Chain A
Amino acid sequence: MVAEMFPILLLLVVVMAMVAGMFVMTHMLGPRRPGDIKLSPYESGMEPVGEPRTRFSIRFYIIAMLFVLFDIEVVFFYPWAVVYKKLLSQGAFILIEMLVFIGLLFVGYMYAWKRGALEWE
């Protein structure tokens, strides 16, 4: 396992060196002429109005929660999918098992839909 991951580690080091090199290069090569207006937040040439960290729609939170839920379900699919072909020779149990799982998942999905969690206006 470690030997298998070693190339990734090596690549990671190379990539990190490359990215760091880019930062250093642009930092050293570029000119430096700061100014009040240049360093202020960009708002299409207007004076910045109010705080940038205002409240935003609750929808984003709901979507994030749904994502966490469904993404975990998707992760459950992976080991099943890998052994599916192998275990299929022992009968339809593995198929029915997953159909039940998908059925349960679908009930939850329909509930979220009906409660309006997926609406976006």
Chain B
Amino acid sequence: MAEAGYAFIDIAVLLVKIALVLGVNLLLLALMTLAERRVAGFMQDRYGPNRVGPEGLFQPIADGVKFLFKEDVIPSHVEKVLYILAPSLVLAPALLTFAVIPFGGTLSAFGREIQLQIANLNVGLLYIFALASLTVYGLVLGGWASNSKYPLLGGLRSSAQMISYEISMGLSVIGVLMIAGSLRLNDVVAQQNTLLFGVLPNWNVFLQPLGFLIFLIAAFAETNRLPFDLPEAEPELVGGYHTEYSSMKFAMFFMGEYVALITSSALITTLYFGGWDFPYVDESALGVWGVVLSVLAFSVKTGFFLFLYLWVRWTLPRFRFDQLMNLGWKVMLPLALLNVVLTGIVMYWVV
């Protein structure tokens, strides 16, 4: 597929994959906004939204329509261009990130091998980090361009938080890279598709427990989720960087956040939980059913991490800002470095 150029059917397949990934992402995003409130209701022993459709299932549609038909207020004091650019800078990178994540095995159809992944980049992981750091621009520009006090403070906080945790995040995956020897996410998954000591699935979470913990915590901070949601701490900053936004622009910040949530759950699955690998089963021997099984395994694992995000949100209280920065710089960073050193030494012993 790499050198052969693109035939019509390749482009058709690609478009179907893009439609599938974007469609599933948007559907999941809608479901997440509902699940967030229903799970919150369940954990606080009350009802969530349950009136629109069966069990409130159509609530996200109602919300979406309402966002579209709201007045699109552009306050007179904002920097117009950046003000409009900011929400798209949050949403677009979030939607692009999923492109390199393999969400299933290889399907044989139309006489060719179709990888269930939009782009099989050899710099896959770098691509994800590059796009993930673009989100910071959206938040900072949104805060700055609003030309108002609360958004500016929210934007500053978010930038400080995200750059602090990005370092730990970047360092914690190095262990995975050392084991896989590649930045290509397919290789990372393939390396995990075996058995460890013949018993455990060879998932990186068993080989890299410390790296996994650091990555998980950093992922929570990167997606601005509780306990790290200081940029939008409602009681202190009203809404943070999106205080001056309304209608669909406001919704786009949230959509970006939820898509980032989905992507990071998928990334945790890919890097540490074997991706689409169903343990103890050789998917490639099962043909089409193997592919179905792999997609299913990937969905279940990703779904678990999505639930974990909700679970943690309603379980842990919010950090204070100095605690947050201390944790990022004084605990996570040295631990991430230690993880690199440990991985290096252990691999020297074993290999």
Contact = CB atoms under 8 A, between A and B. Distances in A.
Contact of B181 (A6, A43, A83, A92): A83
A8 B178 contact: no
Interface in A12-67: 12, 14-16, 18-19, 22-23, 25-27, 29-34, 38-44, 48, 52-54, 56, 59-60, 63-64, 66-67
B202 interface: no
A83 B347 CA distance: 13
Label chain A's interface by main secondary structure.
Answer: helix
A33 B333 CA distance: 50
Contacts of A30: 68-72, 247
Contacts of B67: 26
Contacts of A109: 333-334
Contact of B147 (A15, A52, A88): A52
Label chain B's interface by main secondary structure.
Answer: helix
B345 interface: yes
B118 A86 contact: no
B182 to A, nearest CB: 6
Nearest to B72: A30
Interface in B311-351: 321-322, 325-326, 329-330, 333-334, 337, 340-341, 344-345, 347-348, 351
Contact of A63 (B325, B334, B341): B325
B340 A120 contact: no
Interface string B162-201: 0110110011001001110111000000000000000000
* Among A43, A75, A82, residue most surrounded by chain B Cβ atoms (within 10 Å): A82
Given A11-B99, A78-B177, A31 B71 contact: yes
Contact of B344 (A40, A82, A84): A84
Contacts of A44: 238
A43 B345 contact: no
B75 interface: yes
B88 A43 contact: no
A7 to B, nearest CB: 4
Interface residues of A, number: 69
Contacts of B167: 67, 70-71, 74
Contacts of B325: 63, 118, 120
B308 interface: no
Contacts of B174: 74, 77-78, 81
A13 to B, nearest CB: 10
Contact of A85 (B1, B152, B247, B351): B351
A71 B70 contact: no
18 contacts: A3-B3, A4-B119, A10-B11, A10-B18, A15-B92, A31-B69, A31-B71, A38-B73, A41-B148, A52-B148, A54-B149, A56-B152, A60-B156, A63-B325, A67-B164, A71-B170, A85-B351, A102-B340
Interface of A: 3-8, 10-12, 14-16, 18-19, 22-23, 25-27, 29-34, 38-44, 48, 52-54, 56, 59-60, 63-64, 66-67, 70-71, 74-75, 77-78, 81-86, 88-89, 92, 95, 98-99, 102, 105-106, 109, 113, 118, 120-121
Interface of B: 1-3, 5-6, 11, 14-15, 17-18, 22, 67-77, 84, 88, 91-92, 95-96, 99, 118-122, 126-127, 146-150, 152-153, 156, 159-160, 163-164, 166-167, 170-171, 174, 177-179, 181-183, 238, 243-244, 247-249, 252, 321-322, 325-326, 329-330, 333-334, 337, 340-341, 344-345, 347-348, 351
Given A4-B122, A74-B171, A98-B340, 11 more contacts: A3-B5, A4-B121, A8-B118, A10-B18, A29-B68, A30-B72, A44-B238, A64-B160, A88-B351, A89-B351, A118-B329
